[in-house]
């Protein structure tokens, strides 16, 4: 069994912690690696080492920082398949899905290569006679990332390449459920030439997170994970006067207009709802059928019934097991609750199991109709392969339903009408909208822009806005000549 390694103070180490966490293969729940949770002393060492490294890294020319990112994105591509296999084994994702997880992260590392342009400030000449004004973008110091289990490559890569390219140092605390992928990401980062102490990797659970949230040397915290933990991290981090952004859970609706292309709708709904076992923050978990489109629900059930979960290396598997037995039990409880509360279960995956892997965390595709907003299956993020159908009479009713939902991560509409699509895009209170695209995840030159209960903070961690999050703006107002001589500039500095 592998021993998961921290990376502290420039050294890979299994750590001295006595609290252990077993990492398991979700297909059979057998242990594949062990974590010794970081001790308080190790957390402290990581913060102090990162603080020290920041002081010299912030002085490294931006083009040299970009060159590290150039080498890193190439190394990630060279190791794409290897990373995907590590990831698939510890998450249960199918290989194709695991490759997608890694690839979406590589795109962020590519974006970080452009850091010089991304960090450019602004200038205005002659704000007063002989006085010019300009701004610089400067790093913050030690930044921390706390990441979830469901994208163990993509989400750490949302954070540390951009934060480090900006001139910060970074401490990554990945999910304790799939730590081997982030460990490999950090090994490759060092191999790419990142200074040894500029990143630190700490494994563990709440205790490690809490210590980082309280440490006054930590300047910024990026979190991605569940709603309650996100709220807690946002409150605790900001109470301790840190910059915090917390990406949280979701309940994403797809609106189906009667004029949509039926084949396109059904194929997209199947992939977007049960793909990755529904363990995506952008999964579609509610299908809102407008008017006559509800006649397609039986066909949707038939298509979902053909979807077969399986092992990560089975090319015919549509998705894998859920991450752990607790996650499976939670989904089964919600399915049972849906039935008890009067929803019609057209397809029930509760009993599904994979021959030879009966001890794994399997749940088959599940479809409910006659779902109402008061039911538990509508209100909670299920995070499993379960799709809820709601029927409404008009687009206006669909928009009102989506806007009343407390979450606002993603949504989509399928329609042939430009007018309906425009109205939906304009009026819906959700941060990421797909038009005839089920899962509208932006590329890193945009930002990942969840709204409402799906995000706490102001700037978003990923992509364009991440540069703003990981930097501070300094505005300089400069008088270049004084009245008596031209011997040197007379500058006043305003720190914002």
Under the rule (CB under 6 A), what is the footprint of ligand NAD?
146-151, 173, 175-176, 205-206, 209, 224-226, 229, 232, 247-250, 281, 381, 383, 409, 448, 450, 454
Query: What is 112-131 written as a DSSP string?
Result: HTTHHHHT---EEEEEETTE
**Annotated active-site residue in 281, 345, 388, 389:** 281
Indicate the length of the chain as a whole number: 496
Query: Rounded to an integer, what distance in angstroms lies between the CA atom of residue 145 and that of residue 158?
Result: 10
Under a CB-based contact definition with an 8 Å cutoff, are residues 62 and 112 in contact?
no
Closest C-alpha among 239, 387, 232, 381 to residue 303 = 387
Phi/psi at 256 (nearest 5 deg)?
Answer: -115, 115
**Which is nearer to ligand NAD, 139 or 237 (by Cβ)?**
237
Q: Which two tokens stand for residue 76?
A: 């990630």
Q: Which two tokens stand for residue 389?
A: 């159908």
At a CB cut-off of 8 Å and minimum separation 6, what does 366 contact?
Answer: 335, 345, 347, 348, 349, 350, 384, 385, 386, 387
Q: How far is the CB of 248 from ligand NAD (least distance, A)?
A: 6
Q: How far is the CB of 453 from ligand NAD (least distance, A)?
A: 10
Query: Rounded to an integer, what distance in angstroms lies between the CA atom of residue 398 and that of residue 301?
Result: 21
**Which is nearer to ligand NAD, 206 or 422 (by Cβ)?**
206
Q: How far is the CB of 249 from ligand NAD (least distance, A)?
A: 3
Q: How far is the CB of 191 from ligand NAD (least distance, A)?
A: 24
| Whole-Å CA distances, 265 to 259, 308, 411 | 11, 20, 14
Query: Rounded to an integer, what distance in angstroms lies between the CA atom of residue 282 and that of residue 112?
Result: 24
**Which is nearer to ligand NAD, 139 or 360 (by Cβ)?**
360
User: How many angstroms from the chain centroid is the CA of residue 385?
Assistant: 19
The dihedral over CA atoms of 104, 310, 1, 159, expressed in degrees to the nearest 10, equals 20
Query: What is 24-72 written as a DSSP string?
Result: EETTTTEEEEEEEPPPHHHHHHHHHHHHHHHHHHTTS-HHHHHHHHHHH
Q: How far is the CB of 230 from ligand NAD (least distance, A)?
A: 7
**Which is nearer to ligand NAD, 63 or 329 (by Cβ)?**
329
Under a CB-based contact definition with an 8 Å cutoff, are residues 90 and 25 in contact?
yes
Closest C-alpha among 17, 5, 68 to residue 41 = 17
At a CB cut-off of 8 Å and minimum separation 6, what does 286 contact?
Answer: 251, 252, 253, 254, 371, 378, 387, 388, 389, 390
**Which is nearer to ligand NAD, 317 or 327 (by Cβ)?**
327
Q: How far is the CB of 380 from ligand NAD (least distance, A)?
A: 10
**Which is nearer to ligand NAD, 250 or 375 (by Cβ)?**
250
Name the residue number minimizing CB distance to ligand NAD: 225
Under a CB-based contact definition with an 8 Å cutoff, are residues 248 and 454 in contact?
yes
Cα torsion 279, 280, 282, 283: sign: negative
Under a CB-based contact definition with an 8 Å cutoff, are residues 316 and 308 in contact?
yes
Residue 281 annotated in active site: yes
Q: How far is the CB of 60 from ligand NAD (least distance, A)?
A: 29
Q: How far is the CB of 450 from ligand NAD (least distance, A)?
A: 5
**Which is nearer to ligand NAD, 100 or 225 (by Cβ)?**
225
Residue 169, H or E segment: strand 169-173
Q: How far is the CB of 204 from ligand NAD (least distance, A)?
A: 7
Pairing of strands 169-173, 123-128: unpaired
Positions marked active-site: 281
């Amino acid at each position: 069994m592998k021993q998961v390694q921290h990376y502290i103070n420039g050294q890979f180490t299994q750590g001295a912690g006595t609290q252990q966490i077993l990492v398991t293969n979700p297909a059979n729940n057998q242990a594949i690696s062990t974590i010794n949770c970081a001790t308080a002393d190790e957390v402290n060492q990581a913060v102090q080492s990162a603080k020290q490294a920041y002081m010299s890294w912030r002085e490294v020319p931006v083009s040299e920082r970009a060159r590290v990112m150039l080498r890193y994105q190439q190394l990630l591509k060279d190791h794409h398949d290897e990373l995907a296999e590590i990831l698939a084994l510890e998450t249960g994702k199918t290989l194709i899905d695991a490759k997608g997880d890694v690839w979406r992260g590589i795109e962020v590392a590519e974006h970080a290569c452009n850091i010089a342009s991304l960090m450019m400030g602004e200038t205005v000449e002659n704000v007063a006679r002989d006085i010019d004004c300009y701004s610089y973008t400067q790093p913050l110091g030690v930044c921390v990332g706390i990441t979830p289990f469901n994208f163990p490559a993509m989400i750490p890569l949302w954070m540390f390449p951009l934060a480090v390219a900006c001139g910060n140092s970074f401490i990554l605390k990945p999910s304790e459920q799939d730590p081997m992928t982030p460990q490999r990401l950090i090994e490759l980062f060092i191999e790419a030439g990142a200074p040894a102490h500029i990143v630190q990797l700490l494994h563990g659970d709440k205790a490690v997170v809490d210590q980082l949230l309280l440490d006054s040397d930590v300047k910024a915290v990026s979190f991605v994970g569940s709603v309650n933990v996100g709220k807690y991290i946002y409150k605790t981090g900001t109470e301790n006067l840190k910059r915090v952004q917390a990406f949280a859970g979701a309940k994403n609706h797809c609106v189906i207009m009667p004029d949509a292309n039926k084949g396109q709708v059904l194929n997209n709904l199947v992939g977007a709802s049960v793909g990755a076992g529904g363990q995506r923050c952008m999964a579609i978990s509610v299908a809102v059928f407008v008017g006559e489109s509800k006649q397609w629900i039986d066909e949707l059930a038939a298509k979902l019934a053909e979807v077969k979960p399986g092992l990560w290396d089975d090319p015919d598997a549509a998705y894998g097991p859920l991450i752990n037995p607790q996650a499976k039990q939670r989904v089964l409880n919600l399915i049972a609750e849906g039935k008890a509360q009067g929803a019609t279960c057209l397809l029930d995956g509760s009993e599904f199991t994979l021959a030879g892997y009966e001890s794994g965390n399997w749940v088959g595709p599940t479809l409910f109709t006659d779902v109402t907003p008061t039911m538990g299956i509508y209100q909670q993020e299920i995070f499993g392969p379960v799709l809820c159908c709601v029927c409404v009479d008009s687009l206006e009713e669909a928009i009102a339903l989506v806007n009343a939902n407390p979450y606002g991560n993603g949504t989509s509409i399928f329609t042939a009408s430009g007018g309906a699509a425009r109205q939906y895009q304009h009026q819906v209170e959700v941060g990421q909208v797909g038009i005839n695209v089920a899962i509208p995840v932006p590329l890193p030159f945009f930002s990942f822009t969840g709204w409402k209960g799906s995000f706490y903070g102001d700037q978003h961690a990923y992509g364009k806005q991440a540069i703003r999050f990981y930097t501070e703006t300094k505005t300089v107002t400069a008088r270049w000549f004084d009245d008596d001589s031209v011997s040197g500039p007379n500058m006043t500095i305003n720190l914002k």
